[in-house]
Amino acid sequence: MKHGKKYVDSAKLIDKTKLYDSDEALATVIKTATAKFDETIELHVKLGVDSRHADQQVRGAIVLPNGTGKNVKVLVICKGDENEKAAKEAGADFVGAEEMAQKIQSENWMDFDVLITTPDCMGIVGRLGKILGPRGLMPNPKAGTVTPDVARAVTEAKAGKIEYRLDKTNIIHCPIGKASFGAQKLLENFDTLMGAIIKAKPAAAKGQYIKSCAVTSTMGPSVRINPAKFSV
């Protein structure tokens, strides 16, 4: 693959033979974020598990202490005046029930980042599985997006709650903030997310749990972090 001049120049700042400590890696990746917009910093962690087995799944959600830097649009599908009022007061951007599901189905409307629902509305949301699933927007109790406490879920989503889960190649990909956050705030987010991933280690996992770890900016090259630094 041929890269642009900015990418090539950024790559020169990274020692590809080195496994960095997390604080140095984040300071380095900020230097590589040279785009005209505020680039997102992402964490990519390969785990020593097999996602094909149910007892080796790694999935959960965590509120990052410094948020993600993104203005998160939240849709709440719920019934009852009390739930609707609570969702709106907590800051939900869109609130409704059947009419919102219909809008998604008929108009392919997807102008939201997080969908939260109450358990009694899963029948409505379940019909949207083929639309929401491939986009990673299907609510899930483990992620806290299927809950009777919609106000809390909305507040957490707005505050920077992210979901982490394995893909088919046993890698977790998550944003941990923006380049403008600075190294210290990114490190706090990084430590929080890595702590959650380590805590979620399945009992069935054998051998080395954290196989590899890297951070990257939206447009820049990756910086590898020493996986041996993480005790499991």
Residue 98's Cβ-count burial label (10 Å; 0-12, 13-18, 19+) is exposed
The token pair that represents 66 in the structure block:
């410094």
CB contact at 8 A, 135 and 163: no
Q: How many C-beta atoms surround the C-beta of residue 107 within 10 A?
A: 9
Higher pLDDT, 10 or 214: 214
Do 10 and 220 meet the contact criterion of CB atoms below 8 Å apart? yes
Cα separation, 74 vs 35, whole angstroms: 28
The pair of structure tokens assigned to 80 is 């009852």
**What pTM was computed for the model?**
0.84
Half-sphere exposure of 26 (CA within 13 A, CB side): 23
Mean per-residue pLDDT of the chain: 93
Q: Provide the token pair at 158.
A: 């707005």
Instruction: Tell me how far apart the alpha carbons of residues 75 and 110 are, in angstroms, rounded to a whole number.
Output: 10
Question: What's the rounded mean pLDDT across residues 78-92?
Answer: 96
Distance CA 176, CA 63 (A): 10
Q: What is the pLDDT of residues 113-158, one digit of tens each?
A: 999 999 999 999 999 999 999 888 999 998 899 999 999 999 999 9
Tell me which residue of 121, 126, 114 sits closest to 147, measured CA to CA.
121
Backbone angles phi, psi at 57, to 5 degrees: -75, 145
Give φ, ψ of 51 to 5 degrees. -65, -10
Which position has the token pair 């939260």? Answer: 116
User: What is the per-residue pLDDT for 124?
Assistant: 94
Per-residue pLDDT tens digits for 32-45 = 998 899 999 999 99
The CA distance from 45 to 173, in Å, is 7
Quickly count: other Cβ atoms within 10 Å of residue 28's Cβ.
20
pLDDT classification of 12: cutoffs 50, 70, 90? confident
- pLDDT tens sequence across 142-201: 889 999 999 999 999 999 899 999 999 999 999 999 999 999 999 999 999 999 999 999
